[in-house]
A = this chain, B = another copy of it.
Amino acid sequence: MQFSSRLIEKAVDAFATLPGIGRKTALRLVLHLLKQEKVITGQFTSAVAAMRDGIKECSTCHNYSDNDECQICADPRRERAVVCVVEGVRDLMAIEDTSQYRGLYHILGGVISPIEGVGPGELNIDSLVQRAQKDEIKEVIMAISPTIEGETTIYYLTKKLQPLGIQITVIARGVAFGGDLEYADEVTLGRSIVARVPYESK
């Protein structure tokens, strides 16, 4: 693709670094912005820059947050004795969208994967154990993708948390094995949380 403007070329390159956006799509987005008033692009870049500069990590559950404590942890209506462990923010959002769960969350930041060099030390596991020791948590729900790495992570967490007298549950396996959690439909995902069962380590 040939550009008669370096400014357009650089903006196209910038959009094309985003996942799923090729240079043809990037050009369409750039030409769209050029057709609008300048203030529209200003609003767009401001919102994106403010988001990246201002975003914090919740000191309790590691969720993305506008403050030191996220909206969910700060909400007095949430059940504080139940913590749902998820791999990432998208899983948290997927569960929130089902409106089936009123407890708190803990974001691991991934799963244990020796192949990809992710050990327990790379994940937010210590802070989960600390929460379990400090706060009055009675139940920890494992809402982790049912993959080999996910199962390993659940096993590891159970060994850490069960001695603290916490009940470990796993979301019901209505979710297809080998499937990514974020692609499950809302009904299946919601029912999986409601129909959670005690975890039995094999």
B32 with A19: CB separation less than 8 A: yes
A34 to B93, CA, bound (A): 15
A29 with B19: CB separation less than 8 A: yes
Binds B, one of A4-12, A136-144, A172-180: A4-12
A1 to B92, CA, bound (A): 11
Scoring A10, A43, A48, A89 by chain B CB atoms within 10 A of each residue's CB, the highest score goes to A48
The reply to whether the CB of A166 lies closer than 8 angstroms to some CB of chain B is no
The reply to whether the CB of A161 lies closer than 8 angstroms to some CB of chain B is no
B47 with A10: CB separation less than 8 A: yes
Residue-wise interface mask of A (1-32) relative to B, using a CB-CB cutoff of 8 A (1 in contact, 0 not): 11111111011011101111100010111111
- Counted per complex, copies of this chain come to 2
- List B contacts of A3 (CB < 8 A): 93
The reply to whether the CB of A66 lies closer than 8 angstroms to some CB of chain B is yes
- Expressed in whole angstroms, the minimum distance between the Cβ of A50 and any Cβ of chain B is 6
A30 to B4, CA, bound (A): 30
Contacting residue for A11 out of B33, B42, B47, B96, CB 8 A = B47
A156 to B189, CA, bound (A): 61
> Assuming A38-B53, A42-B52, what are 18 further A-B pairs, CB within 8 angstroms?
A2-B93, A2-B97, A4-B65, A4-B71, A4-B96, A10-B47, A10-B50, A10-B51, A13-B47, A14-B43, A14-B47, A18-B33, A20-B25, A20-B28, A21-B29, A41-B48, A41-B52, A44-B48
8 closest A-B pairs by CB: A11-B51, A41-B52, A14-B47, A45-B45, A7-B51, A4-B71, A45-B49, A10-B47
Interface residues of A (CB under 8 A from B): 1-8, 10-11, 13-15, 17-21, 25, 27-34, 38, 40-45, 47-55, 63-66, 70-72, 89-90, 92-93, 96-97
